[in-house]
């Protein structure tokens, strides 16, 4: 099944998303992951060793689903065995085999790994019993969670002036309390110790007492016993598992030098005997106080040394500052004298210059006066020349303009003379025509008289038009 992995959910609207959506069924998803990349161990035959558990009770398609358990942990894997091999195998024996791994997802979507048995190589008695394996698992669990530091806890309490609360679990008829007190000697007053008696043959009673004493105000729970009491009880898996879940520090004082039980292996601190536990409480207190005193003396000595070093450094710094100040004062005095000398020399030079200037003042003033007079004369000459040039230009313009006006006036006079002549001519002509008219009235016809009058009027109109030009 191919799926477009580039599809973006927000690329389409809700309707379009529904139209483009690709829906998977749970079965198809399981098929996809079953077809995913396989490890190289799945492609070859491998050799495996473990503890065989005949857990298969029914034949499924010719195979039994048994269990192969790890020898030193609680890990296990399903072992598929044929009916023939299944009948040859004994429960709780260590076997070595050739097989191959298969992997698939079940109906709940969980990956299931199966080891398929092909050939049985060896079958031996298990190196560890089931109980021993459980003990190994408990030890591994304790190592993983870590051991609480009893020494550091006690030292920290002493440094902080805190009185430790110790709860001792002992047998009902035991006398180990006196052994502990004897080992502590005078240090017994430094601890708050309580003794709780239980039946050391009852796992339930021991477990309940440990759980009930596991409170925030308890610093140490110590399980102690005398030499003649039951030792096998401290191999009990339930008791040992109970102390792994406690927040309080667990100590044990239940054995001898040659006896190391599982309970002791899982305890945060192991003591050989109750007396050694008492000695430990005394010695760690005394040792801590001595360390504290040495630390105190060392702190005082270190502080003294540090203060002395700081004092010497401050004295050295002050001497250096004093030396630097002296050198600075000497340099400042020298610079001041130098500046004074230079300033006095400058003033002396200026005074000499002023004195020389006084002697030269009259001559310099005369030269300056002559220069100013010459400059003024030059300016006056320039202004006069400019004025003459302007007058010449004005005169030239006036002459030209006067000539033009005179020419215009003369033209007007000439025109007027012409007009006067023409008017005089017209008057003379009119007079002659009037005389002729009078002479013709008696002899000429009316048409001739009309022509003469028209000529006279034309001469008069022509004279008027000429005068307007």
What total number of domains does the chain contain? 3
Tokens 């190589």 belong to which residue?
121
- Asked whether the predicted pLDDT for residue 8 surpasses 70, the reply is no
**Residue 422 lies inside a defined structural domain of this protein:** yes
**Residue 16 lies inside a defined structural domain of this protein:** no
pLDDT digits (tens, 9 = 90+) for 275-284: 999 999 999 9
pLDDT digits (tens, 9 = 90+) for 34-85: 666 566 666 688 899 888 888 888 888 888 999 998 877 778 899 999 988 8
What pLDDT sits at residue 64?
A: 92
The count of other CB atoms within 10 Å of the CB of residue 15 is 8
Q: Give Cα separations from 442 to 118, 436, 438, 452 (angstroms).
A: 184, 11, 8, 15
pLDDT digits (tens, 9 = 90+) for 163-216: 999 999 998 888 888 989 988 888 888 899 999 999 988 999 999 999 999 999
> What is residue 231's three-state secondary structure?
coil
pLDDT digits (tens, 9 = 90+) for 351-383: 677 667 666 666 666 666 667 666 666 666 666
* CB-CB contact of 220 with 166 (8 Å): yes
DSSP classification of residue 91: T
What is the rounded average pLDDT of the residues 264-289?
Answer: 90
Q: How far is Cα 230 from Cα 221, in angstroms, rounded to an integer?
A: 19
What pLDDT sits at residue 66?
A: 93
In the chain, the largest separation of any two C-alpha atoms, in whole Å, equals: 210
**Phi, psi (rounded to 5 degrees) for 84:** -65, -50
* CB-CB contact of 240 with 268 (8 Å): no
**Residue 119 lies inside a defined structural domain of this protein:** yes
* CB-CB contact of 89 with 52 (8 Å): yes
- Asked whether the predicted pLDDT for residue 155 surpasses 80, the reply is yes
Q: Is the same domain home to 263 and 177?
A: yes
Q: Is the same domain home to 123 and 186?
A: no
Domain closes at, from 251, 272, 293: 272
- Asked whether the predicted pLDDT for residue 294 surpasses 70, the reply is yes
Domain closes at, from 127, 148, 164: 127
**Residue 307 lies inside a defined structural domain of this protein:** no
**Residue 295 lies inside a defined structural domain of this protein:** no
Contacts of 229 (CB under 8 A, 6+ apart): 171, 174, 200
What pLDDT sits at residue 3?
A: 43
Tokens 């003794």 belong to which residue?
195
Pairing of strands 220-224, 249-253: parallel
**Phi, psi (rounded to 5 degrees) for 217:** -90, 5
**Residue 458 lies inside a defined structural domain of this protein:** yes
Query: In 3D, which of 120, 72, 68, 116 has the Cα closest to residue 92?
Result: 68
Q: Is the same domain home to 203 and 148?
A: yes
Beta partners for residue 395, in sequence order: none
Contacts of 162 (CB under 8 A, 6+ apart): none
Q: Is the same domain home to 116 and 233?
A: no
* CB-CB contact of 95 with 50 (8 Å): yes
What pLDDT sits at residue 9?
A: 47
**Residue 109 lies inside a defined structural domain of this protein:** yes
Q: Is the same domain home to 202 and 113?
A: no
- Asked whether the predicted pLDDT for residue 466 surpasses 70, the reply is no
Q: How far is Cα 139 from Cα 235, in angstroms, rounded to an integer?
A: 12
**Residue 323 lies inside a defined structural domain of this protein:** no
The pTM assigned to this predicted structure is 0.46
Residue 290: pLDDT band with limits 50, 70, 90:
confident
Q: Which domain holds residue 53?
A: 40-127
What pLDDT sits at residue 413?
A: 55
- Average pLDDT over the chain reads 77
Q: Is the same domain home to 106 and 171?
A: no
Domain closes at, from 127, 147, 162: 127
Q: What is the CATH number of the domain that holds 168?
A: 3.40.50
Q: Is the same domain home to 155 and 265?
A: yes
**Phi, psi (rounded to 5 degrees) for 149:** -90, 100
């Amino acid at each position: 099944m191919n799926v477009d992995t580039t599809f973006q959910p927000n690329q389409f609207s809700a309707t379009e998303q529904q139209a483009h959506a690709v829906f998977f069924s749970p079965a198809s998803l399981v098929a996809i992951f079953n077809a995913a990349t396989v490890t190289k161990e799945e492609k070859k035959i491998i050799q495996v060793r473990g503890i065989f558990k005949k857990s298969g009770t029914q034949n499924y398609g010719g195979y039994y689903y048994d269990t192969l358990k790890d020898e030193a942990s609680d890990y296990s894997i399903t072992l598929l065995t044929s009916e023939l091999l299944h009948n040859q195998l004994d429960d709780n024996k260590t076997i070595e085999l050739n097989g191959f791994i298969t992997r698939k997802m079940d109906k709940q979507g969980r990956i299931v790994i199966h080891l398929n048995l092909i050939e049985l190589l060896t079958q031996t008695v298990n190196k560890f019993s089931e109980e021993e394996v459980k003990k190994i698992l408990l030890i591994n669990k304790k190592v993983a969670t870590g051991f609480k530091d009893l020494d550091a806890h006690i030292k920290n309490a002493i440094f902080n002036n805190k009185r430790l609360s110790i709860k001792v679990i002992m047998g009902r008829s035991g006398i180990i309390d006196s052994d502990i007190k004897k080992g502590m000697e005078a240090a017994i007053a430094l601890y708050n110790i309580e003794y709780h008696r239980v039946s050391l043959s009852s796992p339930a009673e021991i477990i309940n007492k440990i759980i009930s004493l596991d409170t925030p105000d308890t610093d140490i729970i110590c399980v102690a016993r005398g030499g003649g009491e039951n030792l096998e009880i401290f191999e009990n898996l339930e008791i040992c598992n109970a102390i792994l879940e406690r927040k309080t520090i667990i100590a044990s004082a239940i054995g001898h030098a040659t006896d190391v039980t599982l309970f002791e292996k899982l305890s945060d601190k192991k003591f050989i005997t109750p007396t050694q536990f008492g000695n430990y409480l005394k010695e760690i207190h005394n040792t801590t106080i001595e360390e504290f005193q040495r630390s105190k003396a060392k702190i005082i000595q270190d502080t003294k040394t540090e203060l002395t070093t700081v004092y010497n450094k401050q004295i050295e710094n002050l001497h250096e500052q004093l030396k630097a100040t002296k050198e600075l004062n000497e340099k400042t005095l020298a610079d001041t004298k130098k500046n004074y000398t230079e300033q006095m020399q400058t003033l002396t030079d200026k005074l000499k210059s002023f004195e020389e200037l006084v002697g030269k003042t009259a001559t310099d003033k005369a030269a300056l006066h002559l220069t100013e007079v010459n400059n003024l004369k030059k300016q006056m000459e320039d202004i006069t020349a400019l004025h003459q040039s302007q007058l010449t230009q004005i005169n030239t313009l006036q002459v030209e303009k006067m000539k033009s006006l005179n020419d215009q006036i003369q033209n007007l006079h000439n025109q007027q003379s012409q007009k006067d002549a023409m008017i005089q001519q017209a008057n003379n002509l009119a007079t002659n025509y009037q005389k002729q008219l009078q002479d013709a009235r008696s002899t000429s016809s009316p048409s001739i008289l009309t022509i003469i009058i028209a000529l006279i009027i034309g001469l008069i109109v022509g004279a008027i038009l000429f005068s307007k030009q």
